[in-house]
């Protein structure tokens, strides 16, 4: 992890936070919650909404490979560390490595607080001990675990009152210790599955939908050699309750160039935001007539949770462009959108542009007469760890990439309209 960003550094004046521990699920408080499967943009938005309680926040990621290395958010004021899968950008592991900062409860009872941190006996009393724990000789750590939950206790070595005893096999061990010097809990982990070092993949839980659609996949619709629209597969709440839990349905719908505002809203619902291109540098291409050069601006429907923008022509109110976002760490838009998972085929399926593609994988599709593609440097006022981004275009498609080769967005526009 060699990328690092400060999210917020405001001092906290609030009293210690209290979280309920839910194995296999996450940490929940009366103000907010961190749950497995929560998208990173939703987590960042929640942190920004509580700047007095969630402080000393750091974002860490790999500059070289941000799509396949974990992204980590560490909240220093709480000791909570969140691990996001680099590709899906969903929380896969939650750790608390500073128990002096927060209060932890289980079944409505406090088992650890800053003035009385949990011991091994108290953890076993609350959660039960069904088998010996494991011992990490390299880090001198004793681990007591259950499905979806584990606790780490330090072993002080030869001068400690602790004694490591064999278990039933492998690295299973038990501890013998003086009642007056019980090992204190140093780290707690919440994950999906039996092993915190290899947490199972998770999906977005119902509690994170908040009435919004979640994109599963976007593909281009081709007809007679032209892209005419996009095919969207997405999840949405359906209002049903199955086995005591709310249900989510998956739909596949098509949106075409030329569809009206009402057509799009009937498929995807109302956008998160409507953005008018008041500073449209492409107006000059509309023609030399005053009414076209200085006409009203086009406008976007921003679907931040879906990682999708749809541009409408102001006059006709018809779709003319789609923008798909990868939510790449280090980009100026990072944290604004959820990652849009897309697959766009080019040249009769000879090349494929995916969310996690590097430009070199399909750059030949952008060559003209064997000449290397020539980019347009997209200048940003904001400082970006990756530096400037570069745009490459072919018929109906523009890709934006960073200096490390990964994509930040793909734009698909109506070939009958200007770019």
Tell me the pLDDT tens digit for each residue of 27-56: 999 999 999 999 999 999 999 999 999 999
In this predicted structure, the answer to whether residue 226 has a pLDDT above a threshold of 60 is yes
- What is the overall mean pLDDT for the chain? 84
Least confident of 80-94, 125-139, 395-409: 125-139
Residue 260: how many CA atoms within 13 Å on its side-chain side? 4
**Region 389-394: what's the mean pLDDT?**
90
* Structural domain includes residue 196: no
* Structural domain includes residue 328: yes
Work out the pLDDT band at 143, boundaries 50, 70, 90: confident
Per-residue confidence (pLDDT) for residue 160, from 0 to 100: 52
* Structural domain includes residue 267: yes
- DSSP annotation of 286: G
Do 176 and 242 share a domain, yes or no?
no
Q: Which domain holds residue 77?
A: 3-191
Burial class from Cβ neighbours inside 10 Å (0-12, 13-18, 19+) for residue 225 reads exposed
Question: Length of the chain, please?
Answer: 419
- For residues 216 and 234, the answer to whether their CB atoms sit within 8 Å is yes
Q: Which residues of 311-334 are buried (b: 16+ CB within 10 A; e: fewer)?
A: bbbeeeebbbbbbbbbbbbbbebb
Q: Which three-class secondary structure state does DSSP give residue 295? A: coil
In this predicted structure, the answer to whether residue 159 has a pLDDT above a threshold of 80 is no
CA angle 194, 196, 198 (to 5 degrees): 85
**Region 103-123: what's the mean pLDDT?**
89
Per-residue confidence (pLDDT) for residue 241, from 0 to 100: 76
- For residues 50 and 68, the answer to whether their CB atoms sit within 8 Å is no
Q: Which residue would you say has higher pLDDT here, 371 or 412?
A: 412
Residue 85 token pair: 């899968």
Give the position of tokens 């998160």.
Answer: 272
> H or E stretch including 265?
helix 261-268
Per-residue confidence (pLDDT) for residue 383, from 0 to 100: 55
Do 262 and 175 share a domain, yes or no?
no
Do 238 and 155 share a domain, yes or no?
no
Question: pTM for this one?
Answer: 0.85
Quick one: how far is CA 119 from the chain centroid?
34
Quick one: how far is CA 96 from the chain centroid?
19
Work out the pLDDT band at 172, boundaries 50, 70, 90: very low
Per-residue pLDDT tens digits for 256-302: 999 999 999 999 999 999 999 765 544 544 454 444 455 678 999 99
Per-residue confidence (pLDDT) for residue 268, from 0 to 100: 96
**Region 377-389: what's the mean pLDDT?**
66
Per-residue confidence (pLDDT) for residue 97, from 0 to 100: 93
Do 183 and 233 share a domain, yes or no?
no
**Region 142-161: what's the mean pLDDT?**
75
CA angle 95, 139, 125 (to 5 degrees): 55
In this predicted structure, the answer to whether residue 161 has a pLDDT above a threshold of 60 is no
Residue 270 token pair: 């109302």
* Structural domain includes residue 62: yes
Work out the pLDDT band at 171, boundaries 50, 70, 90: very low
The beta strands (E) that lie in 257-331 are given as 273-276, 299-303, 308-312, 319-325
Do 180 and 285 share a domain, yes or no?
no
Do 167 and 230 share a domain, yes or no?
no
- For residues 253 and 308, the answer to whether their CB atoms sit within 8 Å is no
Give the position of tokens 């008018």.
Answer: 276
Which residues are within 8 A (CB) of 306 and not within 5 positions of it... i.e. 6 or more apart? Answer: 212, 213, 214, 215, 232, 234, 268, 338, 340
Do 168 and 250 share a domain, yes or no?
no
Work out the pLDDT band at 163, boundaries 50, 70, 90: low
**Region 51-66: what's the mean pLDDT?**
93
Do 162 and 19 share a domain, yes or no?
yes
Give how many domains the chain has, as a whole number. 2
Do 162 and 261 share a domain, yes or no?
no
Which of residues 156, 191, 226 is at a domain's end? 191
> H or E stretch including 41?
helix 40-49
In this predicted structure, the answer to whether residue 11 has a pLDDT above a threshold of 90 is no
Do 224 and 366 share a domain, yes or no?
yes
């Amino acid at each position: 992890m060699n990328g690092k960003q400060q999210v917020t550094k405001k001092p906290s004046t609030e009293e210690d936070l209290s979280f309920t521990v839910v194995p296999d699920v996450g940490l929940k408080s009366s103000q907010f919650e961190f749950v497995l499967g929560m998208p990173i943009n939703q987590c960042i938005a929640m942190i920004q909404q509580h700047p007095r309680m969630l402080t000393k926040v750091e974002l860490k990621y790999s500059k070289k490979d941000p799509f396949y290395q974990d992204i980590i958010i560490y909240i220093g004021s709480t000791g909570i560390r969140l691990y996001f899968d680099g590709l899906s950008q969903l929380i896969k592991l939650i750790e608390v490595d500073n128990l002096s900062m927060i209060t932890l409860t289980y079944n409505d009872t406090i088992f650890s607080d800053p003035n009385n941190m949990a011991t091994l006996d108290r953890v076993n009393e609350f959660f039960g001990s069904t088998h010996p724990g494991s011992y990490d000789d390299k880090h001198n750590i004793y681990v007591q675990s259950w499905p979806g939950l584990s606790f780490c206790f330090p072993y002080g070595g030869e001068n400690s009152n602790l004694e490591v005893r064999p278990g039933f096999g492998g690295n299973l061990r038990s501890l013998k210790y003086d009642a007056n010097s019980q090992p204190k809990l140093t780290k707690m982990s919440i994950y999906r599955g039996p092993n915190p070092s290899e947490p199972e993949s998770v999906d977005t839980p119902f509690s994170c939908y908040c009435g919004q659609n979640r994109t599963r996949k976007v593909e281009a619709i081709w007809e007679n050699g032209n892209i005419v629209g996009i095919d969207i597969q997405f999840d949405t709440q359906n209002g049903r309750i199955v086995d005591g839990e709310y249900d989510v349905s998956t739909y596949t719908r098509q949106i075409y160039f030329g569809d009206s505002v009402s057509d799009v809203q009937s498929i995807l619902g109302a956008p998160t935001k409507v953005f008018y291109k008041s500073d449209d540098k492409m107006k000059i291409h509309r023609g030399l007539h005053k009414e076209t050069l200085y006409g009203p601006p086009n406008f976007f429907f921003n679907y931040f949770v879906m990682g999708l923008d749809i541009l409408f022509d102001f006059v006709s109110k018809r779709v003319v462009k789609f923008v798909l976002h990868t939510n790449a760490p280090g980009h100026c838009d990072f944290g604004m959108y959820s990652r849009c998972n897309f697959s766009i085929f080019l040249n009769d399926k000879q090349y494929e542009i995916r969310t996690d593609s590097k430009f070199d994988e399909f750059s030949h599709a952008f060559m003209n007469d064997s000449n290397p593609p020539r980019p347009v440097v997209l200048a940003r006022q904001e400082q970006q760890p990756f530096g400037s981004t570069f745009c490459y275009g072919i018929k109906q498609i523009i890709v934006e990439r960073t200096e490390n080769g990964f994509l930040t967005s793909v734009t698909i526009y109506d070939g009958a309209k200007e770019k």
